[in-house]
Amino acid sequence: MEELLRRSEKLTTVGQLAAGVAHEIRNPLTTLRGFLQLQLQSKKLNTSHVSLMLSELDRINLIVGEFLILAKPQAIKFVTKDVRDVLQDVLLFLNSEAHLHNIVFRTVITEEECLISCEENQLKQVFINLLKNAIEAMPGGGSVHISIQRKGASIAISITDEGIGIPEEMISKIGDPFFTGKETGTGLGIMVSQRIINSHQGTLDIQSQVNVGTSVKVTLPGMKAEEEPVKLEA
């Protein structure tokens, strides 16, 4: 019974998501169609129409891209990784983008091993989504503080920006599919990240203050490091 309930809940969310995706993709498709039709009639290439069409195509690509990471069950493989390495890879990958926006990553990373069981690409996607939000929240540049700590059996990763923050009335809507406060946002980043972290038995928590900044804390269950073999006295 419980399983049935869980499955029907899952189906409803999948259905809602599918409806949302269809809707979000139909809008740019309608625009594309309209401009193509105009182009057909005018016989002369209108470059501003073409660039609009390209940006609509980019939008569709962005939306589909965010879903691909969730919709690849055959590629899902959990492996043992040190979160510090996973995060460092992502920081390296985003460094030039951060630099471009006058943003510096400041890290405080524990010396202790932080082994977890994870689907590496999905976990990277979570860090990318969160760091991108942090960058986008600071149009004038600033610092993003990133920390990794061991907290008993768990590992806590926090990403804190000094950006625009999130108004209180918006906070509960964040993570709803397609909820965005940005002109060109997809409103999928947090939803996708939440789902990935849930599938890792972790939690994702957002705290924010307008004009002060936002802090996102991800907690993941840690794995015990290989126990040292017991040394026998001679």
Choices 5-13, 119-127, 157-165, 189-197; region in contact with Mg ion by CB under 5 A: 189-197
Could you give the C-alpha distances from 67 to 58, 61, 130, 173, 198, in angstroms and in order? 14, 10, 16, 19, 16
Give the torsion sign (CA, 176, 71, 66, 37).
negative
Give the orientation angle of helix 2-42 with respect to helix 47-68, to 10 degrees.
Answer: 170
Q: Is 175 in the site for Mg ion (CB under 5 A)?
A: no
Would you give the DSSP letter of residue 19? H
Site string for ligand ADP, 37-76 (x = CB under 6 A): ----------------------------------------
Token pair 């405080």 in the structure block, residue: 108
Would you give the DSSP letter of residue 101? T
Choices 53-61, 73-81, 161-169, 226-234; region in contact with ligand ADP by CB under 6 A: 161-169
Question: What's the min distance (Å) between Cβ of 146 and ligand ADP?
Answer: 13
CB 120 within 8 A of CB 186: no
Question: What's the min distance (Å) between Cβ of 154 and ligand ADP?
Answer: 22
Site string for ligand ADP, 101-140 (x = CB under 6 A): ----------------------------x---xx--x---
Identify the CA nearest to 70 among candidates 222, 194, 218.
Answer: 194
Choice between 49 and 132, CB closer to ligand ADP: 132
Question: What's the min distance (Å) between Cβ of 191 and Mg ion?
Answer: 10
Number of residues this chain uses to bind ligand ADP (CB under 6 A)? 22
Residue nearest to Mg ion according to CB distances in the complex? 189
Q: Which amino acid is at 24?
A: E
CB 73 within 8 A of CB 111: no
Q: Is 187 in the site for ligand ADP (CB under 6 A)?
A: yes
Question: What's the min distance (Å) between Cβ of 16 and Mg ion?
Answer: 20
| 142-151 and 103-109 strand pairing | parallel
In degrees, to the nearest 5, what angle opens at C-alpha 91 toward C-alphas 167 and 67?
65
Question: What's the min distance (Å) between Cβ of 104 and ligand ADP?
Answer: 16
- Under DSSP, is residue 158 helix (H, G, I), strand (E, B) or coil? strand
Question: What's the min distance (Å) between Cβ of 174 and Mg ion?
Answer: 10
* Interface residue list for ligand ADP (CB under 6 A): 129, 133-134, 137, 161, 163-166, 174, 179-182, 185-191, 214
* Interface residue list for Mg ion (CB under 5 A): 133, 189
